[in-house]
Structure 1
């Protein structure tokens, strides 16, 4: 057996043996073990060769290490591939920019692969270190799916709280609320983009699970699948609320514009004949009446006032407002 097989490689983040309970950390002799969980940093060199030495076929290795993926489930002859997405809790990152976790269940061992830290995996690692973690690989998989679902639900609660704030007409200007609503809409679209295929992946896993797991485990998985389904329905409802609130804000802006345009039209209508008369009497040519009369200006101003009052009363009687 080579030193490569005995020593922990740089790309291996963690490894645990679930042959007994509580699980024990594995620090050597990785290729000769069964019922183990191995967690890898997938973008470091040497991982592909290590997996091949562990007996994993090359097409399967390429599937779990490919760069761009979406949640899915693929059944293999000796196991399955499950690709999930979890909330991104990295510092300075957007939570809805979900991180990928690839799981390979192959010949009794579970392999997981990440590029960026996955908070749900870290939670399970702390449980194992405290010797309070899952009893076997099947339980481990359930706990991991449950943690990922809980993280999505927590993010959804934050989005719902933000939605309630935007629905309050007393919070901020219409323009600011529209900008915040657009950002919220983008966040929901990112979440829905991954949660919908994740639900399909869990559906397919539940359908094929009798090949590897017992009926009780499958029922627990169905419960997690139902939780994911509920979250997806909540996201779709939130998207509908976004559209309704967007239409409400747009209608509010349109009503304000119409109201302002209406009053400007009213003012213009009142001053139109007055403007005509002032323009007419403002021409500087001979023959203008009242040029030699000192009372002409005051008489003309009084006439304009009477015209304005008459127009005001007429428009009011016609119920223009």
Structure 2
């Protein structure tokens, strides 16, 4: 399962595997807690074997302890891989969220001048700028368009995509 999730992450086809990784990691932690005490206590027993323990049995027990230690080390390494995968998934989600927020910010910045001008034109007060000039509307449109283009270019340069 971990290899499959890792392959999906590397190929950017990751579905919702965060909960699956979390469940696997919890099982690994439980297994480590259960198995971690065994090798140490058995090694202490083998340093001072009881008289009823034959040498052949002690050797078999040593081999079993070494094998269980290897299994525990493999479980620890797998837990670390899962932790790294979870961190990578979280980083990808944060990056995606950041991109979405940036896009929303750019849209807001680009729409702001238009909303401000619409607000000015919607007011019922005398002395609206350029209201007496026959080209006033087009001057204002050009001013808003220029400001919008400058703000958009600045925003995309700030991001580094332009």
TM-score range, shorter chain: 0.7 to 0.9
Cα deviation for residue 210 of structure 1 reads 4.7
Q: Report 1:181-260 matches (<5 A).
A: 181-260=21-100
Which residue is equivalent to 1:62? none
C-alpha separation in 2, matches of 1:171 and 1:270: 33
Bigger share in strand: 1
C-alpha separation in 2, matches of 1:233 and 1:290: 79
Structure 1 residue runs of 5 or longer lacking an equivalent are: 1-161
Conservation of the 8 A alpha-carbon contact between 1:181 and 1:242: yes
Residues 229-267 of structure 1, C-alpha deviations (whole Å, 9 max, x = no match) = 000111111121122112111111111122222222222
Conservation of the 8 A alpha-carbon contact between 2:39 and 2:68: yes
Which residue is equivalent to 2:113? 273
SS at match of 1:240: helix
Which structure carries more relative contact order (alpha carbon 8 Å, separation 6+)? 2
Closer, same or farther: CA 229–246 of 1 in aligned 2, 3 Å? same
Conservation of the 8 A alpha-carbon contact between 1:185 and 1:239: yes
Structure 2 residue runs of 5 or longer lacking an equivalent are: none
Closer, same or farther: CA 229–281 of 1 in aligned 2, 3 Å? same
| Equivalenced residues, count | 156
Residues 111-147 of structure 1, C-alpha deviations (whole Å, 9 max, x = no match) = xxxxxxxxxxxxxxxxxxxxxxxxxxxxxxxxxxxxx
Conservation of the 8 A alpha-carbon contact between 1:165 and 1:171: no
C-alpha separation in 2, matches of 1:171 and 1:272: 37
